[in-house]
Each structure stands twice: as structure tokens, then as C-alpha cells.
């Protein structure tokens, strides 16, 4: 994804969506017929029946969407936005090592203090509130067993 404004009538993400859908529909149609079966006499529809019909409809809709997409304005893709998904990827990664709760805690601190440049007071307040909700409600009350990560598991066992 590029952050540069794309001009109309140029190939971009808005075309990739219908193209990806065309791909999916063809794959689902093929798998539906080949692997799961469409219709059997007397028994009626098989597992592939419904998805195959739907895939045909998706195929038609995607082709139309592709044609129309050239008339649409291309959206902008601010690079900054991708920091949010990126931080979730980092959280997922560190969860396996230090556990989920420390990961989200660290993320809140780092994000607010070093990315948003908030004052320590704001950072700590938000940190305490969010950790209070997560630990108080999800961990203590509802007993959700969050993963502890490799390190803690090593120590605990």
C-alpha cells in the first residue's frame, strides 16, 4: 500500500478488492465441484451446493464492481494508519514470549509516551485505567486465562 494519492482510472487497491474476490469465487467454485459435491439425485444438495451458487453470484458482483471501480475516486492511504495493525502484530509476537497482559501494558506505555508524546501523568493514568479494567474484569472476575508466555511458563513450572 502506498501513501501517495492515486489518480483516478489508475490501477490501485480499489481494483485489487474485486480482483481478489474473483479469485476467491473461482477457487470456491472449483473446490465446491471437485471436492465437496454439488447435487446428488434424490438426496438433494451436497456440501458444495450452497457455496458454489453463492460463489457464482460473487463472481458476477465482483466483475461489475471491477468495471465500476474505474469510475471511483481512489482513496488515500496514510502511512501512519498502518501503525495500529503493526502494533497488534507486535503484541501478538511478544505475547508468546512475555505473555498477553505485559504485552498490552507495554504497548499502552510505549504508544502514549513515545509515539504520542503524552505527559507521564496522562500516560500512567491511561495505563492504570486500562490495566484496571482488563485485570479487574477479565482476569479476576471472569477468570479469562490469558497466556503467560514462554518466560513465565519456564519460571512457573
Partner 1 sequence: MKKLALIVIVLIVALVAPLFAQGSAEAASTGFAPSKDIDWIVTSSPGGGSDIYTRIISDIMTRLDVVAGQTFLVANKTDGGGEVGRLQVSRVNAGNLANHTLLTFNSGDLMPMVKNTANRLANFTPIAVMAVDKQLLYIGEYSKYKNFNAVLDAVAAGKQVVIAGSKGDDIATYEKMIGELGVNQNQIAFITNDSTSAAITSILGGHVDLVMSKPAAADQYVVAGKLTPVLALSKARFTGNLASAPTLSEVGDYDDVEVPVWRGVVGPKNMTAEAAAFWSDAFQAVSESNAWKDEYINKYKLVPEFRNYMEAQVYMAEFEADYLKSLGK
Partner 2 sequence: MENLQLLLDGFSVLFTLQNIGVTILGAVLGLIVGAMPGIGSLAGVALLLPLTFKFNPTTAIIMLGALYYSNMYGGAFSAILLNIPGDSPAVMTALDGYPMATQRKRPGQALLTSNMASFIGGTIGMIILTFMGPALADIGLKFGPAEMTALLLVAMTSIGWLVGENPTKGLLLTMLGILLASMGMDTLSGSPRYDFGSIYLLGGIPFTPFVIGVVGFAQVIKLMEERNKKTQVSIEKLTIKGSMLTLHDFKRLFFPAVRSGFMGTFVGVLPGAGATTAAFMGYAAQKSFKNEEPLGTGAIEGIAACEAANNGAAAGAFAPLLALGIPGSGTGAVLLGGLMMWGLNPGPLLFTNSPDFAWGLIASLFLANIVTLVIAWGVIPFLIKILSVPTKLMIPIITVVCVVGSYSTSNSMYGVLIMFLSGVMGYVLTKCEYQTAPVLLAFVLAPLLESNMRKAFIISQGSLDIFFQKPISLVFIIILIAIMVFPVVRPLLIRLGLMKRKAS
CB 110 to partner 2: min, Å? 9
Q: Taking CB under 8 A as the rule, which mask of x and - marks residues 68-107 in contact with partner 1? A: ----------------------------x-----------
Partner interacting with residue 107 (select from partner 2, partner 1, none; CB below 5-8 Å by kind): partner 2
Residue 71 interacting with partner 2 (CB under 8 A)? no
Alpha helices in 70-119 (DSSP H): 83-98, 100-110
* C-alpha to C-alpha distances, 124 to 101, 108, 132, 155, nearest whole angstrom: 16, 9, 12, 28
Cα(49)–Cα(101) distance, rounded to whole angstroms?
44
* C-alpha to C-alpha distances, 68 to 13, 17, 22, 65, 154, nearest whole angstrom: 13, 12, 15, 5, 56
Q: Are 46 and 37 contacting, i.e. CB atoms less than 8 angstroms apart? A: yes
> Which of the 8 DSSP states describes residue 4?
S
CB 150 to partner 1: min, Å? 7
Binding site for partner 2 (CB under 8 A): 13-14, 17-18, 21, 24-25, 28, 31, 35-36, 39, 41-51, 54-55, 57-58, 61-62, 64-65, 68-69, 72, 75, 77-78, 80-85, 87-89, 91-92, 95, 100, 104, 107-108, 111-112, 116, 118, 122, 126, 129-130, 134, 137-138, 142-147
Amino acid at each position: 500500500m502506498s501513501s501517495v494519492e492515486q489518480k483516478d482510472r489508475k490501477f490501485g487497491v480499489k481494483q485489487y478488492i474485486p480482483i481478489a474476490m474473483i479469485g476467491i469465487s473461482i477457487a470456491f467454485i472449483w473446490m465446491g465441484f471437485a471436492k465437496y459435491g454439488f447435487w446428488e439425485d434424490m438426496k438433494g444438495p451436497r456440501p458444495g451446493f450452497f457455496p458454489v451458487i453463492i460463489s457464482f453470484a460473487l463472481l458476477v458482483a465482483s466483475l461489475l464492481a471491477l468495471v465500476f471501480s474505474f469510475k471511483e475516486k481512489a482513496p488515500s492511504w496514510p502511512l501512519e494508519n498502518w501503525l495500529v495493525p503493526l502494533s497488534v502484530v507486535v503484541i501478538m509476537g511478544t505475547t508468546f514470549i512475555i505473555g498477553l497482559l505485559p504485552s498490552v501494558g507495554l504497548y499502552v506505555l510505549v504508544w502514549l509516551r513515545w509515539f504520542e508524546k503524552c505527559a507521564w501523568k496522562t500516560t500512567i493514568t491511561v495505563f492504570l485505567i486500562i490495566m484496571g479494567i482488563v485485570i479487574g474484569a477479565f482476569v479476576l472476575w471472569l477468570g479469562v486465562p490469558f497466556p503467560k508466555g514462554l518466560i513465565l511458563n519456564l519460571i512457573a513450572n
